[in-house]
C-alpha cells in the first residue's frame, strides 16, 4: 500500500493533534481532522493550519469536519488527540469509522489504552508517548515549542512489520521509536506528569518557582515513591524518562548525599523548564476539568487493586477535584494543610 492510500483520521485539533495532522498532510498522506467546532473546521479546510516554532513555519489545508459522525469513509488509523476526559464519550464513534483491521493510536496524557480497548478492542489499540511540546496561539495557529519524538508499541504483543510501517508514517511528524514495553514508557511519562501537572494545579505556580520550595520538592519525591511502589506490584518495568531520569535510581538511597543528589536534579529541572505551566492549571483557569483521574488517579486505582497505600496521591487528587468543584481555591497555601506537615 502506498502511503497516500493509507486513510488517517486525527480526532482533536488542539496543538498536538493539529500539528500532527498538518505534518502528515504536508508529507503527502491522506489525512482528515475532526475539529469539534464548525467554525474551526472551516478555518482548517479553507485557510489551513499554520504551524510555526522549532519546526519552522508552514501552512497546510486539509479536509476537516466538526464531528466524527460527519466522516464519510472508514479509516486505517485514527489518532486520538483529545483530552483524556473526552475519550470514552467519543470512543464508540471512533469504532464506527475505524476499519476492522485498523488501529487507534492514543496521543493523550495518562494511560488510556485499557479503557479505549474496552470499546475498540485490545488488538486494535496502539499506545503512544508524545515526547514533544506544542501550544495553540489561536484556532488554526499552532506552535511546536520543543522537539522530541513519538514512542509507539502494542499493549500486549511485540513489534511487527505493520507497527514499523505505522512508525514510518508518523515519522513525517517527528522521529519515531518502537518498543515492546509501551506500558513502561507510558508509566514513566505518567509519573512526571503526576508530579508537575498536579502540584502546579494546586499551587498555581510555574515549575521553576514551584521547585524552589523545599516542601514541594519533598512532596514531588513522595509522589514518585508511591508511583514506583505501585508499578512494582503491577510488574511494570518503568523506562527511563527522556533518556535521563531513572525513577528507581532517583528515589534510592537515604541520607544527606542522596538528598542532595535529588535536590540537585530537581533544581536542574526547575531551571530548565522554569516557565512551564501545568496543563491541569491551564484547564482549571479555563473552567475545564483536568485529566487528574488519568494521571495520579491511575496510580490510586491500581494501588487499591494491589493493596498499596498511596496517601499523597490520594490527597492531591481530592484537592484538585475540590478546585474543579469550586470548593477550594488555587493557592500555594493549599500545601499548609496539616497533612503536608511531615514534608516541612
Task: Flag whether pLDDT at 4 surpasses 90.
Answer: no
pLDDT for 211 equals: 96
Tens-digit pLDDT profile for residues 188-227: 999 999 999 999 999 999 999 999 999 999 999 999 999 9
Question: What residue ranges do the domains of the chain occupy?
Answer: 3-180, 184-343
Residue-wise pLDDT for 23-58, tens only, equals 999 999 999 999 989 999 999 999 999 999 999 999
Residues 6+ apart with CB under 8 A from 56: none
Tens digit of pLDDT for each residue in 114-126?
999 999 999 999 9
**b or e along 166-193 (b: 16 or more beta carbons within 10 Å of the residue's beta carbon)?**
bbebbebbbebebbebbbbbbbbbbbbb
Rounded CA-CA distance 101/219 in Å is: 45
Give rounded-to-5 percent helix, strand, coil for the chain: 50, 20, 30
Do 284 and 330 meet the contact criterion of CB atoms below 8 Å apart? Answer: yes
User: Using 50, 70 and 90 to split pLDDT, how confident is the model at 1?
Assistant: low
* % of the chain with per-residue pLDDT over 90: 89
Tell me the pLDDT tens digit for each residue of 245-286: 999 999 999 999 999 999 999 999 998 888 889 999 999 998
Q: Report the CATH number of the 3-180 domain.
A: 3.40.50.720
Query: Which CATH entry fits the domain spanning 184-343: 1.20.1050.10, 1.20.1440.230, 1.10.1040.10, 1.10.10.10?
Result: 1.10.1040.10
Contacts of 94 (CB under 8 A, 6+ apart): 11, 68, 78, 80, 104, 119, 120
Amino acid at each position: 500500500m502506498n502511503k497516500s492510500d493509507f486513510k488517517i483520521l486525527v480526532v482533536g485539533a488542539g496543538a498536538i493533534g493539529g500539528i500532527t495532522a498538518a505534518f502528515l498532510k504536508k508529507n503527502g498522506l491522506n489525512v482528515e481532522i475532526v475539529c469539534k467546532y464548525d467554525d474551526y473546521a472551516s478555518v482548517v479546510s479553507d485557510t489551513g493550519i499554520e504551524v510555526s516554532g522549532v519546526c519552522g513555519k508552514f501552512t497546510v489545508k486539509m479536509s476537516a469536519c466538526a464531528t466524527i459522525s460527519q466522516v464519510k469513509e472508514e479509516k486505517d488509523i485514527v489518532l486520538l488527540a483529545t483530552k483524556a476526559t473526552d475519550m470514552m464519550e467519543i470512543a464508540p464513534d471512533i469504532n464506527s469509522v475505524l476499519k476492522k483491521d485498523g488501529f487507534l493510536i492514543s496521543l493523550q496524557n495518562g494511560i488510556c489504552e485499557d479503557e479505549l480497548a474496552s470499546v475498540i478492542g485490545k488488538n486494535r489499540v496502539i499506545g503512544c508517548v508524545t515526547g514533544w511540546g506544542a501550544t495553540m496561539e489561536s484556532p488554526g495557529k499552532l506552535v511546536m515549542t520543543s522537539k522530541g519524538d513519538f514512542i509507539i508499541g502494542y499493549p500486549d504483543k511485540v513489534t511487527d512489520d505493520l507497527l514499523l510501517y505505522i512508525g514510518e508514517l508518523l515519522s513525517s511528524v517527528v522521529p519515531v521509536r518502537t518498543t515492546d514495553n509501551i506500558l513502561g514508557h507510558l508509566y514513566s511519562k505518567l509519573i512526571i506528569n503526576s508530579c508537575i501537572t498536579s502540584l502546579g494545579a494546586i499551587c498555581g505556580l510555574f515549575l521553576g518557582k514551584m521547585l524552589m520550595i523545599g516542601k514541594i520538592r519533598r512532596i514531588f519525591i513522595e509522589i514518585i515513591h508511591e508511583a514506583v511502589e505501585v508499578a512494582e506490584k503491577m510488574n511494570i518495568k518503568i523506562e527511563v524518562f527522556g533518556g535521563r531520569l531513572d525513577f528507581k535510581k532517583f528515589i534510592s538511597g537515604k541520607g544527606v548525599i542522596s538528598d542532595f543528589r535529588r535536590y540537585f536534579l530537581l533544581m536542574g529541572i526547575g531551571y530548565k523548564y522554569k516557565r512551564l505551566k501545568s496543563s491541569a492549571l491551564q484547564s482549571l483557569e479555563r473552567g475545564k476539568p483536568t485529566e487528574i483521574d488519568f494521571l495520579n488517579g491511575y496510580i490510586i486505582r491500581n494501588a487499591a487493586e494491589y493493596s498499596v497505600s498511596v496517601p499523597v496521591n490520594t490527597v492531591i487528587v481530592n484537592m484538585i477535584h475540590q478546585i474543579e468543584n469550586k470548593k477550594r481555591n488555587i493557592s500555594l497555601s493549599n500545601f499548609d494543610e496539616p497533612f503536608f506537615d511531615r514534608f516541612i
